[in-house]
Amino acid sequence: MAAGNPNDGPRGMMPTVMWATVIAAVVGFAAVYVTLGRPDNALRQPSPAQGEQARPAAPPSGQGSHPLSRGQMAAFVFKKTPEELGEVKFQDGTGTERTLAQWHGKVVLLNLWATWCAPCRKEMPALDRLQKELGSDSFEVVAISVDRTGLPGARKFLEETKVESLALYVDPTARLATTLRAVGLPATLLLDRQGREIGRLLGPAEWDSEDAKRLIRSALE
């Protein structure tokens, strides 16, 4: 009877199994490296066929997409088309009811503020300077207090912030911010001569800056 081969049997199979395991590990590592390795290992997207017309880029939209939405006005968001606001009611400094319809024919910067709003206090002097410089038969800053302190509280606020050129307007019901969908204060809307909203900026801004004046003048053209 022939002697058994030392490589036969379970013990003899061990080197073969080990080699198979090593080879599988190497192949697996290579696959992972190609998939997750450096960017130059990634598959390149095929370039468009010669003569094929590239798709036009989508038009810009939203915050900062307009050429005038820059610098101090970077947060100003233009409407796709001017938007009707409906009837907006408030009171002047004598308690007489006013509506925005009375400003038709003028470009209006409509600012909503409140006596308890610290950012409103910070930006109010800039709005006052803007009105002093650009206010005319064609443009007006209409700043409306939208808290329940009414005329007394609003008048005191304007005195404390040393406002000289802005008229006093209030909404003692405090509903105007909701009506105009202002999610916070201050909120400032730019309106065209038909009383339609061109766009808005939420939060304080330097409204007497060159960026802001450029925006206002574009609406006046």
pTM assigned to the model: 0.71
- Give the pLDDT score at 206: 97
Residue 62 has pLDDT above 50, yes or no: no
CATH at residue 107: 3.40.30.10
- Give the pLDDT score at 65: 63
Instruction: Indicate whether 152 and 75 sit together in one domain.
Output: yes
* pLDDT 10s digits, 13-58: 445 444 444 444 444 434 333 333 333 333 333 344 443 343 433 3
Q: Is position 60 within any domain?
A: no
- Give the pLDDT score at 66: 84
* pLDDT 10s digits, 192-220: 999 999 999 999 999 999 999 999 999 99
| DSSP letter string, the chain | -PPPPTTSHHHHHHHHHHHHHHHHHHHHHHHHHHHHS-GGGSPPPPPPPTTPPPPPPPPP-STT-STTS-GGGTT-EEEEEEE-----EEEETTS-EEEGGGGTTSEEEEEEE-TT-HHHHHHHHHHHHHHHHH-SSSEEEEEEE-STTHHHHHHHHHHHTT--SPPPEE-TT--HHHHTT--SSSEEEEE-TTS-EEEEEES---TTSHHHHHHHHHHH-
Q: Which domain holds residue 158?
A: 71-220
* pLDDT 10s digits, 76-94: 999 999 999 988 999 999 9
Bridge partners, residue 40, by sequence: none
Q: Is position 175 within any domain?
A: yes
- If one counts the domains in the chain, the total is 2
Instruction: Indicate whether 34 and 107 sit together in one domain.
Output: no
